[in-house]
C-alpha cells in the first residue's frame, strides 16, 4: 500500500496522508458519489410519484405515510450538491451551482421549522403538489416532518461547512452529519423493531420510511467525502490500526442490531421470556466479539511475525548495501544544490585523506579542485542540475596532504516530487593509471611516427604505397600497397609508364613529378584527387611524397614516391568539421525558441561594442519581458508557457532585420541587438512588436498577452554590461509604470503608444 499519488486539492476532499491506503480512499470517495446519486434518485422518483400518482414511489410503507414533495426537492438538491463536491468542478459553472444548492436546502429546512415553531402556514407545503387526502400527514397536508426538516437543516449546513478550508468548519460538518445519522438511525431502528410509539411523537410524526433511508445515505455520503480527515483517517489507514478497524467495525454495527432484532422476534414468538432473551443476547454477543477479536489478534500476530522477519532481512540487506557503498572499489558521494558534500563513502575519504566530519556539510566539491578545475566544475554543475546527468567528466583534485589526484566523475540527479534538485548521486573513479597509460601511449605514437619515416624506404612491409620511377616516368619498383591503389598487379607495373597504368591521373602526376626530375626538388605531402581502376565510380584522395634519386655524380636519374590513401581520413575530417559546426550552432542556440542563447548574445554584444568603439556608428539594444508570464505557467502549465515563449520569439523575428540578433535572455526575457540602429528606430521597432503582441491571441490562451520593453543606445566608452543594464533598468521602469509599454533608457516617462 502506498500514499495516493494524485490527492484532490480541495477543502472538501482532504489530501491523502502518507499512511493512508489509497484504494480505501478511492472506495470511500466512490461510496460518497454513489450515496449522492441514490439520494438524488430517490428525490426524483418521489417527484415522479407525486406527478404520476404512483403510490409506491410516494410511500414505500403505507403506515408511515408519503414523502413530502419538498423533501424530495431537498433530496435532489442535496444529492446534486454532494455529487458536485469535487475539485475538478471548483472553478467551473457547476462548482458555483454546488455552492448555492446547500443554501436552498437550508432555506427549505428553516422555513419548515419556522412553520412548526411559530404555528404558521407559509403556503409552501402544497406549493408543488396538493395533498388533499393527507398522505404526508393528517394535521399539515404536504408538510415534511420535524425530524426531516431538522435533518435537512443539519445536513445542508454540513454541506456548506465542509467546503470551507477550515479544520474547525470541517470538524463541525462531520459532527452534524454524525448527529443527524444517529437521529435517523434511531428512527430506522424503531421501524425495524416495530416500535410504532416512536412515530407518535411530534418530532417523528409523518416520516416516510424512504425519508429516513435517504437522509441516512446523505449523512454517510458527507462523512465519506473526506476519507482522510477526522476519525475516518484511522478507517482509511494503511497501517495495522486501519486494518483492525475495518475488520471490527462491520461486526460492531451489525452484531448488536441483528441480535437485538432476533431477541425481539424470539420474545414475540414466545420462544423465551424477556429476561432469558437478554441473557441469550449478551452471551451471544460476547461469544461473537471474543471470536472476532481472537481472529483479528491471530491475524495481527502473523502479520507482526512477518513484519519482524522482513525488518530483520531489511536490516541485513541494509548492512550489505552500506558495506558495498562504503568499501566499493570506487568513490561515492552526494552534493547538495550548493555543491556541498552531504554524504561520502569510506573509499573516497581514504583517497582524500580527510575524516568524515571534516567533509560532510562543511566542504564543497569545488574546495578540492584547482582554480582552473573549479571554474570548469561550476559550468558542469550548473548544466548537471538542469539536465540531471553527466558522464565521465574528468577533474584533478587536491588531497589533504596537497598531492594531486586525477578522477573521473559520473552523476545523476535526485529530485523531489516537484522536480526540484535535491542532491547528486556521484560515482568517482581514480584515473591515475589511465592517465599514465594515455601519456605512455602518446609517447609510443610519437616514436611510431618517427619510425614510419624510416620505414618509408622499406618496400615490402610498408603500409603505404611505395614506388620508384625513372625520368621517363616508367615504373622500376612498386610494393603491394601501391599496386592495390592502382588496381593492377605489382609485376604488371614494371617497365610501364604512368600513361599506361593510371591514364586518368597522368596529367596531374606529370605536374607533380616535373620539379622532382627536372630540378631535383622533393615534393612532400602533396594531395592527389581522382579515381582508380579499383574503384572507378568514386573519387579518392591520396597524400603523396616524391624524392629525387641521384647517381654518384649528383645527376637525377629518377625518383621514389610514397602514396597514402587518405580518402577515409578526408571523409572523417569533413564529417568532423560538419559535426563541430553543428555542435557550435547548438551551443549558441536556445532549444525552446530557436533563438540565440545567452552565450551567443554575449559574444555578439562584445563584438558589436568593439566595432562601434573602433569604427563608430550606432548600436541599440531592446530587452523585452512578457507581462504576468508566471500567471500563464500557473494557470495553463509550463507546456503552454513554452508555446507562448516560442510564438513570441517568432513574432519578434518577423519584425527584425536579418542583421539584427534576437536572443533569449533567460526565462521570459528576450534581447534584440540592433547594429547601426539608433534609439528612436529601435523604439519604433519595439512599439510595433508590442502593438502586434497586444492584438494577438496565442492559442490556447483566450486573451492577448502583453510585454514591456526597455530600449538603450550605446554611448561612447560604455561597456557591454552597462549597455544591457541600462536597457534592463528601462524595462523595469516600464514594469513599474504599468507594463505593456516601451521605455527609453534616457527617458523619464513611459511611452505606451
Q: For 352-390, what is each residue's pLDDT tens digit? A: 999 999 999 989 999 998 888 888 898 899 999 899 899
Backbone angles phi, psi at 531, to 5 degrees: -110, 160
Q: Cβ atoms within 10 A of the Cβ of 192, count?
A: 12
Across 85-98, average pLDDT: 78
Q: Which class would CATH give 589-744?
A: alpha beta
The three cell numbers of residue 58 are: 410516494
∠ CA 27-28-30, nearest 5°, is: 65
**Active-site entry in 135, 348, 608, 668:** 668
Who contacts 471 (Cβ-Cβ below 8 Å, separation ≥6)?
517, 556, 557, 558
pLDDT of residue 678: 92
Phi, psi of 130 (to 5 degrees): -80, 145
Angle separating helix axes 679-694 and 638-654, nearest 10 degrees: 130
Q: How confident is the model at residue 255 (pLDDT cuts 50, 70, 90)?
A: confident
pLDDT computed for residue 285 by the predictor = 74
Check pLDDT > 90 for residue 27: no
State yes or no: is 326 an active-site residue.
no
Task: Inform me whether the pLDDT recorded for 465 exceeds 60.
Answer: yes
The yes-or-no verdict on residue 124 having pLDDT over 80 is no
Least confident range from 391-400, 582-591, 614-623: namely 582-591
Whole-number percent of the chain with pLDDT over 70:
85
Please, are residues 693 and 730 in contact by the beta-carbon 8 Å criterion? no
Residue 145 phi, psi dihedral angles, 5° rounding: -70, 165
CATH class of 457-571: alpha beta
Band of residue 9 on the pLDDT scale cut at 50, 70, 90: very low
pLDDT of residue 51: 84
- Alpha-carbon distance values, 100 to 82, 164, 219, 532 (Å): 12, 14, 19, 90
What pLDDT is attached to residue 548? 92
Q: What CA–CA distances, in Å, run from 420 to 357, 386, 401, 411, 413?
A: 27, 9, 36, 16, 10
Query: Which of the four pLDDT bands, split at 50, 70 and 90, describes residue 274?
Result: low
H helix runs in 227-239, sequence order: 232-235
pLDDT tens, position by position, 592-636: 888 999 999 999 999 999 999 999 999 999 999 999 999 999 888
C-beta neighbour count of 432 within 10 angstroms: 12
pLDDT winner (highest mean) among 51-60, 138-147, 453-462: 51-60
Separation of alpha carbons 289 and 214, rounded Å? 30
- CATH number for the domain running over 331-434: 3.30.450.20
Amino acid at each position: 500500500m502506498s500514499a495516493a499519488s494524485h490527492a484532490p486539492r480541495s477543502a472538501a476532499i482532504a489530501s491523502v496522508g502518507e499512511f493512508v491506503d489509497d484504494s480505501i480512499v478511492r472506495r470511500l470517495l466512490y461510496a460518497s458519489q454513489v450515496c449522492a446519486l441514490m439520494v438524488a434518485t430517490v428525490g426524483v422518483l418521489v417527484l415522479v410519484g407525486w406527478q404520476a400518482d404512483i403510490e409506491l414511489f410516494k410511500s414505500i410503507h403505507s403506515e408511515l405515510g408519503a414523502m413530502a414533495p419538498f423533501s424530495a426537492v431537498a433530496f435532489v438538491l442535496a444529492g446534486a450538491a454532494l455529487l458536485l463536491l469535487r475539485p475538478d468542478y471548483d472553478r467551473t459553472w457547476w462548482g458555483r451551482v454546488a455552492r448555492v444548492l446547500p443554501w436552498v436546502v437550508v432555506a427549505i429546512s428553516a422555513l419548515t421549522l419556522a412553520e412548526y415553531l411559530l404555528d404558521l402556514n407559509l403556503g409552501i407545503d402544497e406549493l408543488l403538489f396538493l395533498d388533499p387526502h393527507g398522505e404526508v400527514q393528517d394535521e399539515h397536508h404536504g408538510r415534511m416532518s420535524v425530524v426531516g426538516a431538522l435533518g435537512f437543516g443539519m445536513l445542508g449546513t454540513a454541506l456548506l461547512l465542509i467546503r470551507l478550508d477550515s479544520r474547525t468548519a470541517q470538524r463541525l460538518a462531520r459532527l452534524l452529519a454524525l448527529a443527524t445519522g444517529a437521529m435517523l438511525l434511531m428512527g430506522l431502528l424503531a421501524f425495524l423493531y416495530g416500535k410504532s410509539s416512536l412515530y407518535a411523537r411530534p418530532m417523528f410524526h409523518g416520516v416516510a420510511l424512504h425519508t429516513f433511508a435517504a437522509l441516512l445515505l446523505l449523512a454517510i455520503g458527507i462523512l465519506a467525502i473526506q476519507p482522510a480527515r477526522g476519525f475516518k483517517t484511522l478507517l482509511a489507514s494503511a497501517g495495522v490500526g486501519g486494518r483492525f478497524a475495518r475488520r471490527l467495525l462491520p461486526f460492531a454495527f451489525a452484531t448488536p442490531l441483528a441480535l437485538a432484532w432476533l431477541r425481539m422476534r424470539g420474545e414475540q414468538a414466545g420462544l423465551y421470556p424477556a429476561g432469558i432473551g437478554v441473557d441469550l443476547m449478551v452471551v451471544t454477543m460476547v461469544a461473537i466479539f471474543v471470536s472476532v477479536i481472537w481472529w483479528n489478534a491471530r491475524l495481527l500476530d502473523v502479520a507482526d511475525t512477518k513484519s519482524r522477519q522482513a525488518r530483520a532481512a531489511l536490516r541485513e540487506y541494509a548492512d550489505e548495501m552500506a558495506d558495498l557503498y562504503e568499501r566499493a572499489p570506487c568513490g561515492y558521494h552526494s552534493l547538495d544544490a550548493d555543491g556541498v558534500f552531504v554524504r561520502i563513502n569510506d573509499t573516497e575519504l581514504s583517497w582524500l585523506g580527510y575524516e568524515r566530519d571534516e567533509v560532510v556539510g562543511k566542504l564543497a566539491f569545488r574546495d578540492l579542485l584547482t582554480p582552473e578545475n573549479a571554474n570548469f566544475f561550476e559550468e558542469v554543475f550548473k548544466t548537471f542540475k538542469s539536465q540531471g546527468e553527466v558522464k565521465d567528466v574528468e577533474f584533478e583534485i587536491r588531497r589533504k596532504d596537497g598531492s594531486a589526484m586525477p578522477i573521473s566523475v559520473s552523476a545523476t540527479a535526485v529530485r523531489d516530487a516537484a522536480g526540484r534538485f535535491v542532491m547528486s548521486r556521484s560515482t568517482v573513479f581514480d584515473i591515475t593509471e589511465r592517465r599514465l597509460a594515455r601519456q605512455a601511449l602518446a609517447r609510443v605514437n610519437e616514436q611510431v611516427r618517427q619510425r614510419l619515416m624510416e620505414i618509408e624506404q622499406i618496400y615490402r612491409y610498408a603500409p603505404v604505397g611505395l614506388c620508384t620511377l625513372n625520368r621517363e616516368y616508367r615504373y622500376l619498383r612498386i610494393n603491394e600497397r601501391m599496386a592495390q591503389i592502382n588496381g593492377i598487379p605489382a609485376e604488371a607495373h614494371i617497365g610501364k609508364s604512368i600513361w599506361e597504368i593510371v591514364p586518368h591521373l597522368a596529367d596531374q602526376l606529370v605536374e607533380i613529378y616535373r620539379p622532382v626530375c627536372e630540378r631535383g626538388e622533393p615534393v612532400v605531402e602533396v594531395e592527389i584527387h581522382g579515381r582508380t581502376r579499383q574503384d572507378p565510380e568514386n573519387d579518392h584522395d591520396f597524400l603523396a611524397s616524391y624524392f629525387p634519386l641521384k647517381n654518384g655524380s649528383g645527376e637525377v636519374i629518377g625518383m621514389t614516391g610514397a602514396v597514402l590513401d587518405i580518402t577515409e581520413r578526408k571523409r572523417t575530417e569533413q564529417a568532423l568539421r560538419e559535426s563541430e559546426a553543428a555542435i557550435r550552432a547548438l551551443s549558441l542556440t536556445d532549444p525552446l525558441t530557436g533563438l540565440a542563447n545567452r552565450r551567443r548574445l554575449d559574444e555578439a554584444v562584445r563584438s558589436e561594442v568593439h566595432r562601434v568603439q573602433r569604427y563608430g556608428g550606432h548600436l541599440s539594444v531592446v530587452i523585452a519581458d512578457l507581462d504576468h508570464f508566471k500567471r500563464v505557467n500557473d494557470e495553463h502549465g509550463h507546456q503552454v508557457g513554452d508555446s507562448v515563449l516560442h510564438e513570441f520569439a517568432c513574432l519578434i523575428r518577423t519584425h527584425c532585420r536579418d542583421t539584427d540578433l534576437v536572443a533569449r535572455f533567460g526565462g521570459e526575457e528576450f534581447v534584440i541587438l540592433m547594429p547601426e540602429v539608433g534609439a528612436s528606430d529601435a523604439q519604433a521597432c519595439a512599439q510595433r512588436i508590442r502593438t502586434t503582441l497586444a492584438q494577438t491571441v496565442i492559442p490556447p490562451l483566450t486573451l492577448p498577452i502583453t510585454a514591456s520593453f526597455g530600449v538603450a543606445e550605446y554611448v561612447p566608452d560604455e561597456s557591454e554590461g552597462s549597455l544591457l543594464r541600462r536597457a534592463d533598468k528601462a524595462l523595469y521602469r516600464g514594469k513599474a509604470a504599468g507594463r505593456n509599454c516601451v521605455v527609453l533608457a534616457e527617458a523619464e516617462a513611459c511611452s505606451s503608444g
